[in-house]
Amino acid sequence: MAFIQVSARLNPVQLRRAPKALGAKTTSETLQRALDLVTEKAAHDRVLQRYSGVGKPDAFSEDY
């Protein structure tokens, strides 16, 4: 996969803390791991919502 170069304005405090939290050594690795986490969480949330009953019309029905 080819990577692209981007320019972004980031909070310097978060950028100093994030590598340790993510176990990354470089800024690029930090940002890649953060994006991986966000996209994985979104996929996980979609599965949970689809199969948990949340958001369905009768999700909180009192009729059992």
**Where in the chain are the domains?**
14-47
The radius of gyration computed from the CA coordinates of the chain, to the nearest angstrom, equals 18
What are the tokens at 9? 């304005």
* pLDDT in the model for residue 34: 97
**Residue 59 confidence (pLDDT):** 64
pLDDT digits (tens, 9 = 90+) for 5-63: 999 999 999 999 999 999 999 999 999 999 999 999 999 988 888 877 666 666 666 66
pLDDT at position 54 is 61
Would you tell me the crossing angle of helices 27-52 and 12-22 to the nearest 10 degrees?
70
In the prediction, which pLDDT does 19 show? 97
| Pairwise CA distance, residues 62 & 46, whole Å | 25
Tokens of 49: 């919502």
- What is the pLDDT at residue 32? 96
pTM of the model: 0.72
Which of 13, 35, 34 has the alpha carbon at shortest distance from 23?
34
